[in-house]
């Protein structure tokens, strides 16, 4: 099994790279999706969040009110640390389960947005960083996600810098250009990963 950590700044195009890798045969473990699953209604994760932050972080139908919780933790390191202390162990445990279920010959891609920020590079055989210039990131966040430019820049500033991500990378995929330039790069990376996995066998 080859274990890959995939990361990139917001708006860099990491989701498109992970989508392409799955079409080639990678097993995808998406940390963001798991982080949502572990705090769904009637889970121990949601109960722990409510115990920490109070019932006001719930919607009227008992689901997690993400904007409300985000308003509490964004910009407050102590509250964010408390939330992460609940969610991160649950995400790690579920990721380990999914990885164990993949075959021994699999190439497993862990899609981890905050891989660099949380010092997780050593957990993987290889780290792949999807890279784009800050100008490109802002443009995509404004055009594709409808963010105001100040919000886009604030989100970017809360993440690792471009230089920090590149320093942690074993492989950098340049996604500063149009989509048609991305696919050949990702296919070449997949070929390299496949050869590395075969050599490991």
Predicted confidence (pLDDT) per residue in 13-29, tens digit = 999 999 999 999 999 99
CA 68, chain centre distance (Å): 21
Domain boundaries, the chain: 1-26+106-201, 36-104
Closest among 165, 171, 166, 169 to 193, alpha carbons compared: 171
Distances (CA, A) of 63 to 16, 50, 67, 87: 28, 11, 12, 16
- The pLDDT score that the predictor gives to residue 201 is 63
Classify domain 1-26+106-201 by CATH architecture: 3-Layer(aba) Sandwich (3.40)
Name residues whose C-beta falls within 8 Å of residue 29's C-beta, 6 or more positions apart in sequence: 95, 98, 99, 108, 109, 110, 111
Name residues whose C-beta falls within 8 Å of residue 20's C-beta, 6 or more positions apart in sequence: 182, 183, 186, 187, 190
| Tokens at 45, concatenated | 């994760």
Q: Mean pLDDT over residues 111-128, rounded?
A: 93
Q: Mean pLDDT over residues 80-84, rounded?
A: 92
Q: Please give the radius of gyration of the chain, using alpha carbons only, rounded to the nearest integer.
A: 18
36-77 pLDDT tens trace: 999 999 999 999 999 999 999 999 999 999 989 988 998 788
- Which residue has tokens 């996604």? 175
pLDDT > 90: percent of the chain: 84
Please tell me the distance from the alpha carbon of residue 82 to that of residue 49, in angstroms, as a whole number.
9
Angular region, 132: left φ>0, alpha ψ -120 to 50, beta rest? beta
- The pLDDT score that the predictor gives to residue 152 is 92
Other residues' Cβ atoms within 10 Å of the Cβ of residue 81 = 10
Q: Which fold has domain 36-104?
A: Rossmann fold (3.40.50)
Whether 36-104 and 1-26+106-201 are alike in CATH topology: the answer is yes
State the pLDDT confidence band at 2, using cuts at 50, 70 and 90: very high
Q: Longest Cα pair distance anywhere in the chain, in angstroms?
A: 54
Closest among 18, 36, 39, 35 to 27, alpha carbons compared: 18
């Amino acid at each position: 099994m080859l274990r890959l950590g995939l990361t990139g700044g917001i708006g860099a195009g990491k989701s498109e790279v992970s989508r392409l890798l799955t079409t080639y045969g990678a097993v995808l473990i998406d940390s963001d999706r798991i982080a949502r699953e572990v705090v769904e209604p009637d889970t121990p994760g949601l109960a722990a969040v409510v115990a920490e932050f109070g019932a006001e972080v719930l919607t009227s139908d008992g689901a997690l009110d993400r904007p409300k919780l985000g308003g509490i933790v964004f910009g407050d390191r102590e509250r964010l640390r408390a939330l992460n202390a609940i969610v991160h162990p649950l995400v790690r445990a579920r990721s380990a389960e999914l990885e164990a279920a993949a075959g021994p010959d699999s190439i497993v891609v862990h899609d981890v947005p905050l891989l660099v920020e949380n010092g997780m590079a050593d957990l993987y055989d290889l780290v792949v960083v999807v890279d784009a210039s800050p100008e490109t990131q802002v443009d995509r966040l404004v055009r594709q996600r409808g963010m105001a430019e100040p919000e886009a820049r604030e989100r970017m500033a809360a993440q690792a810098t471009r230089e920090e991500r590149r320093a942690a990378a074993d492989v950098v995929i340049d996604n500063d250009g149009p989509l048609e330039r991305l696919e050949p790069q990702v296919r070449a990376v997949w070929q390299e990963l496949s050869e590395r996995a075969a050599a490991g066998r």
